[in-house]
A = this chain, B = another copy of it.
């Protein structure tokens, strides 16, 4: 796997750990995007990666509504974003909405893993994007009811997240100093001892 490293701001990489897939530690969620469009071939690769995600009963409940800049789908997704996200996300050449079918196709019973599996498929999509030198930023802060209406999402699908996708831009492109400061701040995560447990409340020994 080769990386188009020139397109990515190395300052926000997670620390490299020997053996961890580079696309996993290079992926992060910037807000500054270049105007440069994403090729249809690259987009197809992202969805090919999502396609092979695991899912409960192999239902593959995920659907992605993909809006390229200049299309009504891009405009409709933009219209549902909260003002803060409207201040940066519409510059991304691709905005997509992920939704998840809530009933199994084989027997119409409830699929309690619909959102879980949508999260998994989208995770593979954003990791594959990082491998291609593309930047992604998922958002939950949008008007879900407005998105359902504008994009005609049936009631038996849950609304997931909106993902902005494109090539990372310079932080100075952002509309204010606070957002620029967030863009260049170090990434933070909990230590393993807080979420890898051998029993409830007890960190697993492997992470000592």
Contact = CB atoms under 8 A, between A and B. Distances in A.
Nearest to A21: B131
Contacts of A29: 54
A1 B25 contact: no
Contact of A71 (B128, B132, B190, B198): B198
A24 interface: yes
A20 interface: yes
A3 to B, nearest CB: 11
Given A51-B190, A115-B119, A123-B123, A132 B19 contact: yes
Interface in A172-206: 187-190, 192, 195-200, 204-206
B132 A123 contact: no
A195 B47 contact: yes
* Dominant secondary structure at the A interface: mixed
- For chain A, give the interface size range: 35 or more
Interface string A84-114: 0000000000000000000000000000110
A140 B119 contact: no
A67 B197 CA distance: 9
A22 B128 CA distance: 10
A164 interface: no
Contacts of A127: 21, 24, 124, 127
Interface in A6-52: 14, 17, 19-25, 27-29, 40-41, 43-45, 47-49, 51-52
Interface of A: 1, 14, 17, 19-25, 27-29, 40-41, 43-45, 47-49, 51-54, 56, 58, 60, 62-67, 71-73, 112-113, 115-124, 126-128, 131-132, 138, 140, 151-154, 160-161, 187-190, 192, 195-200, 204-207
Q: Which 3 A-B pairs have the closest CB atoms?
A: A119-B119, A116-B119, A120-B123
